[in-house]
Structure 1
């Protein structure tokens, strides 16, 4: 009987301890941090004044969003639950330019701010934002397809580029560049050039002398990995023989269609990461290819996971040359944007987890904003891929 009493007492004691531990954990989860945010005006502008704006705090793990417009003299103090946050700002500024008062839409973004403890500080740099019509990346099918034998199949990936304007545009000389850095692995690289350039090690260019490839308003063109009928090799795939261009890939995986124009490998080739760890930009060189390669080399340094100093070589593609940008990632392992937020303030995905077999046969497709009276679709282009794209949907070229 005494033994039973002892066991009973121990059980009750353990239960109390566990309840106290749970209570303590709950208390910790509701601890708050007083965060002071300084909003920095765009550089190279005079007499800048914020006329309106909203700052949003998104807790990365829970998805909870807190907003405020209660800032004074470009500063705001807010109390937030401890956690990891993305901060974004959207508003309007007034400034002086050539003696004239101008207004402009501005944005700002900071990712991965960890709040822990009673106080913290953060800075959000603003940049001018305008929604301009032109070429946009309409779709990226980067996952490939699974075969009926349970194997992966990668040759059927593609980009679709769309003329989102109301005038004829020419595809000649457009470049597609892939990020060097992964959106799923944030590391402190130096020097940090993100606010001035996109870091890339893979660049391909559409051929042409200037007006060989006209694209009508509301029309698009497809860049295929291999512009063949993949259904002949994999019944789960698609027919890409109607693609306007194809990538010139490694000889071991290149299935060339001689009737489809190859892109020029400036620095490549490009194979497209099938889990979405990379990001892509559409751009035009403002110098010759030779001058770009000679003048835009970028050597960056970082610490490996074991703390060993490392350095790597890449190229800097100036942000001013970029026409459109799309950050890709994995839903549960995203860590950072690898473009300046002035190019893209969001990201989209197909895979929920890093080794998600369900990602195969899925694409990211830009949303339709509106349709003109003559039936031309205007695609959504706010420079925020989270808002602009449908994530993990059926590829548009797959029947």
Structure 2
């Protein structure tokens, strides 16, 4: 019997990333106007003895669009001159151990006051491992329908990829989108911060619905270098919109089902269905932002679906609207995540150890897609299997392409 658990309590041409943003407005300031100094000290987490010299530290004011950078010395200290503002410091690095495991280190500070004074801050890096299964491509902004003169955005899809040299199994792998659906703007914070601070919680709030691959453990294999397509409407969209894609191919997966999301198109023959394991409210469709979604895949940590939901369902601390409640997913259970913003001044919803950067398309209806960059050095070592970059920083790992990879296939 399929498992559906409803919590209806009535119980989103140019990808702008920090490498492109390093000089935004900073080149408008003279040396005399760089009146503040921020001293950033970077520390490795306990138990990791890797060097902290040579790390690039980014200081950004996401309200004013200011950004400055510095490099750490032997002691992990970077001294950076800045224009007046309120800044967040961010850095990351990675090391591969003797056993071949890639460890990723990311860190981000709380807000730094550089308006009236120089200041110092310490970043203690957090450690994570590179995931076996990663997001390869995210197509969520839709395309332009020339016949109607409007954006066509019902053709969203996600591609997952086995980035390792061993078989992976999709069984019980879960997919969620972060709350809120659109990244906060104008300096606003996510509702889900630690009380009395601007620091994000250790659990990521899944919005609206959560989806899971069915199977008993080894039913849905994903071999090294292979991918799987997840569609929001698993039909041939190119049949009616020339600039769109065919998402109705056998072997694709639909991110919906007839019971939880009856408003979605009936999948083409041969398309498989993900299982809806959690839902809040009475919505009849699963929604992904056209502008700034946040995607993540995770496991339940060995718990049953029922027990996990019982343990992790939470009311929004800043809203009485039951539809803004969430299923909280511990950061240690998240395998991969991608933060998408509409503007570099948007507020992030993922903590740095989950995604220390962001990816961004030009806007809805542009036909653009976000795709993970190839790690050429690691790919050469495999003799042909593509290895994609995975630094837990979407600013480094992803780039925009003018058309989704499934276009005209």
Tell me which interval the TM-score lies in, with the shorter structure as reference length: 0.7 to 0.9
Q: Provide structure 2 residue ranges, at least 5 long, that are not aligned to the other structure.
A: 1-27, 96-101, 280-284
Aligned to 2:349: 338
Q: Which has the larger radius of gyration?
A: 1
Across the aligned residues of Structure 1 and Structure 2, the Cα RMSD in angstroms comes to: 3.2
- Asked if the contact 1:248/1:254 (under 8 Å) is kept, the reply is no
Q: 2:13 maps to which residue?
A: none
Alignment equivalent of 1:280, drawn from 256, 278, 295: 295
Partner secondary structure for residue 306 of structure 2:
helix
Output the TM-score relative to the length of structure 1: 0.77
How has the CA–CA distance of structure 1 residues 319 and 84 changed in structure 2, closer, same or farther, with 3 Å as cutoff? same
| Separation of aligned partners in 2, 1:190 and 1:348 | 21
- Offset at residue 337 of structure 1 (A): 2.1
In structure 2, relative to structure 1, the CA distance for the partners of 1:297 and 1:191 (3 Å cut) is farther
Cα distance change, pair 188–368 in 1 and its aligned pair in 2 (3 A): closer
Considering fraction of residues, name the structure with more strand: 1
Aligned residue pair count: 350
Matched, 1:367 2:362: no
Separation in 2, partners of 1:236, 1:27:
47
CA positional deviation for 1:368: 0.8
Aligned-partner Cα distance in 1 for 2:192–2:235: 42
TM-score by length of 2: 0.75
Q: CA-to-partner distance for each residue in 1:130-155, whole Å, 9 max, x for gaps? A: 4x351000001111222121123222
Contact 1:52 1:92 in 2 (8 A): no
The equivalent of 1:12 in structure 2 is none
Whether 1:219 aligns to 2:211 is no
Higher RCO, 1 vs 2 (CA within 8 Å, ≥6 residues apart): 2
Q: Tell me, yes or no, if structure 1 residue 318 matches structure 2 residue 318.
A: no
User: What residue ranges of structure 1 are gaps of 5+ in the alignment?
Assistant: 1-24, 94-102
- Specify whether residues 114 and 36 from structure 1 end up closer, same or farther in structure 2 by C-alpha distance, changes over 3 A only: same
What is the distance in 1 between the residues matched to 2:397 and 2:173? Answer: 22
Structure 1 pair 38/222, CA: closer, same or farther in 2 (3 Å)? Answer: same
In structure 2, what is the equivalent of residue 241 of structure 1? 248
Verify the 8 A CA contact 1:58 1:86 in the aligned structure 2.
Answer: yes
1:183 — aligned with what?
Answer: 183
| Structure 1 residue 321: Cα displacement | 1.0
Report which stretch shifted further, 190-199 or 210-219. Answer: 190-199
Distance in 2 (CA, whole Å) between partners of 1:26 and 1:65 is: 11
Change in 2 beyond 3 A, CA 1:184/1:112: farther
Alignment partners' CA distance in 2, 1:349 and 1:135 = 22
**Are 1:53 and 1:91, in contact at CA under 8 Å, matched by a contact in 2?**
no
**Who is 2:144 aligned against?**
146
Write out aligned runs for 1:93-108 (5 A). Answer: 106-108=105-107
